[in-house]
Structure 1
Amino acid sequence: MKTLLTPGKDTELIGLDVADLAEGETLELTREEEIVAVVLSGVVDVDGLGTAGGRSGVFEGPGHTVYAPPGHALTFRATGGPAQIVIATAPLGDGTPAQARIIGPDDQQVDERGEGNWSRTVRTVLGPDDDAGRLLFGETINPPGNWSSYPPHKHDTHEPPREVKLEEVYLFKFEPGNGFGVQIRYDGEGEEVFTVRDGDVAAIPAGYHPVVAAPGYSMCYLWFMAGEGRRMIPYLDPEHAWVQNG
């Protein structure tokens, strides 16, 4: 298993790992934090819960995700070929743990958002209305050349109902796999712009954070959030909110 983000070093709350399993290989996982394990590709048997997976990759369609509360022992076994699993964790905080379960394609909310060259498909896998303690998770699919997280928004200040504070991380996938995109982050103190490629991660503790896919390449980013409660109330950059508000 490879560590992508470490809480206390790269992030405040969210940990991120990826596991590549050969056919028949087993992964045993127990954490003190809440767990969301996303089957990116392949099929796994999950002891006590059932079978998860089946897609060749995120661009094929909605997949399967395993949720587990703190202390719950998970065992994954790859069947029928190799499998790749992304594991996100966060401390429970004041949240109430939910039952361990598999979240399948029919359990997700799929929405088309935006328009024109800022349209995208959002699969909300573990949203505010789903049983969980703290974690939120979904997948966003960008057509080639399109913008996402747009109009630019942020969620780094806890001022409900105007905005809630949520740390976020992105994990990027591209099709074809040699594609790339550009991630932007900015606030009143400055800005940064960097290229993202297949398998890259971006930790977003604060600021506005739009992202764009290069022409010719579909982009997917898995987004994980954790913070103050589980409401999602982003604050749009007033300079650019007109794009959405008309």
Structure 2
Amino acid sequence: TAPYSNMVLGEVLNDRGNWSGYIPHQHPQPETYYFLFDRPEGFGASFVGDDVYKIKDGSFSAIPGGKTHPQAAAPGYQMYTCWMIRHLEGNPWTDRIDDERYTWLYDAEF
């Protein structure tokens, strides 16, 4: 997170069958994702707004600003995600806007 670079790069390891980027959220600026799986036949789902895309080893997702974007790994497959988002003047990438329909999950007990 070097401020002079104007970019943030992150990594996520999803356990098999789990979510990332959850609860569904958005940012004003676009974000990109690159996906790898622990097995070549591994797959998952990338949700971008109301659209759902199958992701597999080597997939790339470009998420427009303002679109919600959680991801899920299929059971049995660990998913690695490398993501990148840029800073906006006066509006850093951490300005995450949660989808209010799912904020109840923060307090849910399972």
TM-score by length of 1: 0.41
Q: 2:60 aligns with which of 187, 201, 204?
A: 201
RMSD: 1.4
Asked if structure 1 preserves the Cα contact closer than 8 Å seen for 2:86 and 2:93, the reply is no
**Corresponding residue for 2:84?**
224
The residue identity in structure 2 corresponding to 1:242 is W
**Corresponding residue for 2:75?**
215
Does residue 182 of the first structure (1) align with residue 41 of the second (2)? no
Q: Secondary structure, in 3 states, of the residue corresponding to 1:136?
A: strand
**Corresponding residue for 2:18?**
146
Indicate the structure whose relative CO is greater, using CA pairs within 8 Å and at least 6 residues apart: 2
Asked if structure 2 preserves the Cα contact closer than 8 Å seen for 1:172 and 1:197, the reply is yes
1:131 deviates by 4.3
Structure 1 gap ranges (5+):
1-126, 157-165
The residue identity in structure 2 corresponding to 1:237 is D
**Corresponding residue for 2:97?**
235
Provide the C-alpha distance between the structure 1 equivalents of 2:30 and 2:41, rounded to a whole number of angstroms. 28
Structure 2 gap ranges (5+):
none
1:178 deviates by 1.6
Q: If each structure's helix is expressed as a fraction of its own residues, which one has the higher value? A: 2
**Corresponding residue for 1:111?**
none
The residue identity in structure 1 corresponding to 2:94 is M
Asked if structure 1 preserves the Cα contact closer than 8 Å seen for 2:47 and 2:69, the reply is yes
Does residue 170 of the first structure (1) align with residue 33 of the second (2)? yes
Asked if structure 2 preserves the Cα contact closer than 8 Å seen for 1:167 and 1:227, the reply is no
Count of aligned pairs: 105
Q: If each structure's strand is expressed as a fraction of its own residues, which one has the higher value? A: 1
TM-score by length of 2: 0.87
1:231–1:169 Cα change, 3 Å: closer
Following TM superposition, where does structure 1 have runs of at least 4 consecutive aligned residues deviating by more than 6 angstroms?
none
